[in-house]
Copies of this chain bind each other. A is one copy, B any other.
Amino acid sequence: MIDNLRQHIINRVGKKPDNLEHVLDHFEEFSGERGQHLLVQGDVCKHVYYIAAGCIQVYIIDRQGQESTREFYVEDQWVTDIFGFQNQLPANESIKCVEACRLLRIHYDSFQLLSQQAPQFAAIYKEILEVSYNNTVYRVNALTAMNALERIRWLMENKPKIMTRLSSKLIASYLGISPETMTRLKSKL
């Protein structure tokens, strides 16, 4: 499992950093069962998770008690409540495993330490932050500019793996539509 993360870092940095093993020492293995929460809204997020295998959902509960999914994360991606983590403030979102997950996690204290000690670690974080921001910007534009059918097509083109991997109900909660509308529109594709 640690091999995935090692390779992930090497790919990003472009070569094997001198202090790579030191960085990896700060991570611990963590298994998440299907349905298990990594973070519940209101709690302070203490870890950043690297996903070696599985799929994770970040969501809120809307006024009717329904899950509304902000994002899904899969293998070779990172997940945390970034703002709450960096400022050690209560989270607005919940994070849970929608599949059995094999994870590597790093604690807040270690993360801050490495951010100072290891410039390449800080650089990777910055890059991930920029990509995450960019993805979220795309998503805002999709949500404001497209109707339900267009959003489904957008998802199929841009995240086809998510589309086939997850249940319709989860996809619907990600697109901001009801499961019934999802069913009906699928026949119009």
What residue of chain B has the Cβ atom nearest to residue A127's Cβ? B86
Contact A133 B60 (CB under 8 A): no
**A19 interface residue per 8 A CB criterion:** no
**A141 interface residue per 8 A CB criterion:** yes
Contact A141 B82 (CB under 8 A): no
Could you say which of A20-28, A97-105, A144-152, A155-163 contacts chain B? Answer: A144-152
Count the copies: 2
Q: Which of A70, A131, A132 has the most CB of B within 10 A?
A: A70
Chain B residues within 8 Å of A133, by CB: 82-83, 129, 132-133, 136
Chain B residues within 8 Å of A184, by CB: none
Interface string of A115-149 (1 = CB under 8 A from B): 00000000000100111111011111101111000
**A90 interface residue per 8 A CB criterion:** no
Chain B residues within 8 Å of A82, by CB: 130, 133-134
Q: Which of A71, A130, A131, A146 has the most CB of B within 10 A?
A: A130
